[in-house]
Structure 1
């Protein structure tokens, strides 16, 4: 995690300190502004502390649409390193079983800190398809027990453990001439299994679960390379 944070900080610092340059379709740096659909799974992977959930109970996290920024450095014309900045918010509801519709998690906010190494296969037509992979560190904060967790379990506190995962990505950049401007389409799939802990006013843990968060993040937007 320390290496991931240091590398992302270094990339951001270098970008800020680099003088403004004319756009260049073959430049070393690329920044993107994207709109992203964050589509998590959220199914139960394991119940660690069970208060007696009915058989067949499962969960689902809701989707969200958020702005996303990325910074990318091209080590060679075919290999780059990219980090993204994104904040997304989700609820988790009971999706199946007798308690269907009950809310377990309200307004959970997530920063999916991600660093990927990408392989590019540019073409003469200006299309630059790529694939990538790398580590991700999911940071959770401001999570609150949902209405069902409060009424059925007496929970008034909720904590998610920050969690390391992995991400795969694929996409394409489309250069708009040699100006450095372009369009971008990107798809990422994450695999991450965070745990959640609900407790009551006396501090007793009333429910603990592990979830298959595993979101898809589908993005489209503009790019500038220099």
Structure 2
């Protein structure tokens, strides 16, 4: 929470103190610089292979993270736009239930490739919007956690998956040169499958997980 507060303060100060530039509140291109909280679920949805004998009721969870995000948006009309985001977020997966405290997967680096079609409502100076679109989570660098290694896992692979995101937010202009502050919330429906292998290449465990994160952002925008 402290990291979020500091990032929000910095981006708000930027919007209020930056000098005027050649922007336009009716421009076709909008760029957002954001502080983003990524709040995934990570619980086990289904056990497909289990050669190690997981205790009944075993569960997992993924930690939250705060990252900088860049969003680029193109306005096809004054009310309709297309937006894509760029960021990397890193997580680890730990045990829950009978596995509480166990380190399962470390260094899960995710690129949430997302494109949304947005509709902007006409509400005077405040510009609320809603959006929906496809997403694909590209996962890199995952490694077995200490407790997974102790059970013989030498390698773990998490699959890239396609899902959907819905969003809602508001843009608030702070001057007449295309600058403003913005709040955005996205909900993803997205899963992944984790496969754990022994040193001999045997797949000892395969579990399907719900990621389904909330992605909450705040920052500044510049419209050209």
- TM-score, normalisation: structure 2: 0.89
Q: What corresponds to 1:161 in structure 2? A: 159
Cα offsets for 1:99-148 (capped at 9, x unmatched): 21101110100000000000100322x21000000000110010000111
Verify: 1:129 aligned to 2:128, yes or no.
yes
Q: What corresponds to 1:217 in structure 2? A: 215
Matches for 1:30-109 after TM superposition, within 5 Å? 30-50=30-50, 51-97=52-98, 99-109=99-109
- Local SS of the residue matching 1:76: coil
| 1:22 to partner: Cα distance | 1.8
Q: What corresponds to 1:138 in structure 2? A: 137
Q: Extract unaligned runs of 5+ from structure 1.
A: 1-20
Q: What corresponds to 1:22 in structure 2? A: 22
Q: Distance in 1 between matches of 2:114 and 2:31?
A: 15
Number of equivalenced pairs: 203
Cα offsets for 1:74-122 (capped at 9, x unmatched): 011110000000100000011111x211011101000000000001003
Q: Distance in 1 between matches of 2:28 and 2:175?
A: 17
2:199 to 198, 201, 205: 201
Q: Distance in 1 between matches of 2:80 and 2:197?
A: 47
- Local SS of the residue matching 2:150: helix
Q: What corresponds to 2:3 in structure 1? A: none
Q: What corresponds to 2:7 in structure 1? A: none
- Local SS of the residue matching 2:24: coil
| 1:177 to partner: Cα distance | 2.2
- Local SS of the residue matching 1:194: strand
Q: Distance in 2 between matches of 1:71 and 1:141?
A: 23
- TM-score, normalisation: structure 1: 0.88
Q: What corresponds to 1:18 in structure 2? A: none
| 1:29 to partner: Cα distance | 0.6
